[in-house]
Amino acid sequence: MKWRIVFALLAGALVAGQASAATLVVVEARGIGLKPGTVLQAAAVLQLKQGQHVTLISETGSTLKISGPYNKPPVAVDGGGVNLSDTMRALVTQREARSGEFGTTRAAVLAKLPDPWLVDATRGGNGCMLENRPPVFWRPAADQASNLTVAPTDRSWKAQARWPAGQDRMSITTDVPMRGGETYIVTVGGVESPIAMVSVPAALTNDSMRTAWMAEKGCEAQAAALLHSSE
């Protein structure tokens, strides 16, 4: 009987320790000095004043949007967060609604990526890249050779490479390392696409968190590819 009590106490302590060690990662913050990628302890008190707002991602991929005034641990609102499945379902619904609007084109329908860490070089929008790693560009049609050009929006430099026929993905060496938070003009076969690069921080420790991050940052096709690769 004593050993059962001891085991029960140890098990309870382990669960409590895991709960207290749970972390949240900041996706967005307004009115408060928290940068995207900042790690918060879920059990620690989060203080927000009126007008301040944070968006957080939990270790399960749930998204928590909290506005001030607020003064308690963010774990207390975990039950009110949006889980990963609901986040992806909402993205699909929004995309279908946009593709059906008058004046939109078939380009509004995202191509299915063969790998989550590929950036579609033929479509403008947001592209997610792993922190401190260069992006890998992808094209849906690879039957012909083409020229690939990358330049910042101010055209201060330009990197060029020949994209061989039969090759659907390619990296390119640039004079200045490509970084998240910057927009680049990516040209394939003479067609320009402005792509805003988004860094996926190393603080996101699992694919559920990375999927939620990419969905929040507008990298819809990459988020869908990562979600499917994890199933």
pLDDT value at residue 21: 54
Strands (DSSP E) contained in 5-117 are 23-30, 39-41, 46-48, 53-58, 63-67, 70-72
pLDDT value at residue 93: 62
pLDDT value at residue 106: 38
pLDDT tens for the chain, 231 residues: list them. Answer: 433 332 233 233 323 333 345 899 999 999 999 999 999 999 999 999 999 999 999 999 999 999 999 999 987 554 557 777 677 776 666 655 555 444 444 345 578 999 999 999 999 999 999 998 999 999 999 999 999 999 999 999 999 999 999 999 999 999 889 999 999 999 999 999 999 999 999 999 999 999 999 999 999 999 999 988 866
pLDDT value at residue 165: 97
Q: Are 198 and 178 in contact, with CB atoms under 8 Å apart?
A: no
The span from the CA of 149 to the CA of 189, in Å, is: 9
- The token duo for 151 is 């330049």
Q: Which helix (H) or strand (E) holds 187?
A: strand 183-188
